[in-house]
Structure 1
Amino acid sequence: MTTTRTTTTTAGQAGRAITASGLRKAYGDHVVLDGIDLAVPAGTVFSLLGPNGAGKTTAVQILSTLIEADAGEVRVGGHHLSRDAEAVRGQIGVTGQFAAVDAMLTGEENLVLMADLHHLGRREGRRRAAELLERFELTGAAKKLPAAYSGGMRRRLDIAMTLVGDPRILFLDEPTTGLDPRSRHSMWQIVRDLVADGVTVFLTTQYLEEADQLADRIAVLNGGKVVAEGTPDELKRLVPGGHVRLRFADPVAYQRAAAALREMSRDDTALTLHVPSDGSSRELRALLDRLDAESIEAESLTVHTPDLDDVFFALTNPNPSASAGLPNSRKETVR
């Protein structure tokens, strides 16, 4: 189903949905956000990762006008956060860590209540509720209380309630926490469909696979600072350990390749060489050109790169020496 949206000519619509510069928040002596910068392109999924207490939820609360920052310049949907908060609220929807569903109302009644709060009018509110119940596969449970819903159904209802006002920017704060794998995958498809409709999604999550699957760009938050930012693949290349695995069927070709390639480890039993690489097309091309120059043919080639778990542990390790191999000091931005 296609949702019709009203086009507004703003800086946020044209390029960036969210921009933040020097965003800071402290509670007494405890600094939660220490001058972070964010830039979220419109119509994308931007994920904020970090350990517990890193400031992810605080960032969402500030960007969604729930709390005020101590310092910093922020624009959301093209509107200045501190000077035009009401206009920002008209552009956004927020789904927190815990479902904000009224347990005393049916699924349909929850949606109609949200429609009333958005002043949609009786007929339009019921039409919008029916549309969202169908979109989120909740029509059969529309007359039931949330107590009869599964965790995944309650989460879908929660997001549907957030979408009643047709927001252009959606904040999802750990939306799949506690869901089983099937429900989590269903939620991922919902996010993809929203982005396909032009919605910008700002996602915080504890599931690194979730960020890997959904995010166009990821920022890693640690100690109140953004310590790295880039696409999932770019971030993976920050962590040492990537390599190309070359397997040979011919022992002679294997020995010749071992002699031609300087930096590598070898497994003589499996006729396999492991060549350090960041997995980039440039390095793969250079490796293949080297083999072609020596008229050496490998039976198979496999690229192995660190995953987001490796990135997360390396960038958020409380022991600085454990991250000594990373090519970033204060912040690494990959473009």
Structure 2
Amino acid sequence: MDQFERLSQLPLRDDLRGQHPYGAPQLDVPILLNVNENTFGVPLDAREAILKAVANELDGLNRYPDREFTELRRALAAYLGHDLTEENIWAANGSNEVLQQLLQAFGGPGRRAIGFPPTYSMYPLLASGTGTAYVTGVRAEGYALTAESAARQVREQAPNIVFLCSPNNPTGTALGLDVVEAVYEAGTASQAIVIVDEAYAEFAHAGTPSALSLLPGRPRLVVSRTMSKAFALAGARVGYLAAAPEVTDAVRLVRLPYHLSAITQATAVAALRNSDSLLANVEHIKVQRDRIVNELTAMGLAPSPSDSNFVFFGGLANPQAVWEGLLADGVLIRDVGIPGHLRVTAGTEAETTAFLEGLRALLGR
């Protein structure tokens, strides 16, 4: 009897039967470009600041941390700008926990959420885990999502929660603010919470607007962010949101007590105080991202325009063979399950070169 069969014999919730947990392959290869990590790592000055901040917390580890993580919320508000204050900010262990808490507060049995695939694959899993029904919207050819189409689907489905991923994962494209505005208005009848997931916002091209600018006067709008990508803190698990103060009050009703450890809070605050050096690497990543788009185009492939730290590309007759060939060369990228397509993270110049040379050789065969 295999593990899946043993699991099925437990009194599992009916809606979880047959489900599979989220997870990308975790393989030990030289170049990891499959889960959109910041491969530059933490710069020395930020590393030293984090070490000092964590050391200062050690004497108090026998005490519970600040339940309201006040210093972190103030630092995040200052980083985001847009006249936000600590009252507008909430944080948790990664943006996935932020999204989960929002679903716990505003979703649940008898309620439903809508997303527009292809998009972040955790949305339906988080919905399932909170007993929230999940409805899949549709996109146009080329995976575009217009304001008119999105608003019409929200009016028809009358969801309680709407997920808008911008820049979208896995396509990498940012949404226009007109889409967010139209969806927000369309969700008025069902009082929908509109979540704009901006996990990759720091990698967007200059001039790309953030939904943070739309928060005033929109109490049902939430902008979700993370420190995993631009701040190279995937291992620290820090995500956060900006919204009206009443949204953060709602999330307090469902959060676990003392959910952010003192070490996590200290790490995040120190990183925010050293954001200049951390975000300097974002500019290097954007250069490699644009290089990938240009060189894939020259190879005759079809990369999508990207405002993120990854590139989604099509035109592959056999993506599985390409994925396996690159893996054999020590380069791991992501098969997102979309026919003819793969996704690659923009890494360092050397990592990007290894990917491009490996792909060029495979296509030449």
- Same fold by TM-score, threshold 0.5 exceeded? no
TM-score, length of structure 2 as denominator length: 0.28
More helix by share: 2
More strand by share: 1
Greater RCO (CA < 8 Å, at least 6 residues apart): 2
TM-score, length of structure 1 as denominator length: 0.30
Larger radius of gyration: 1
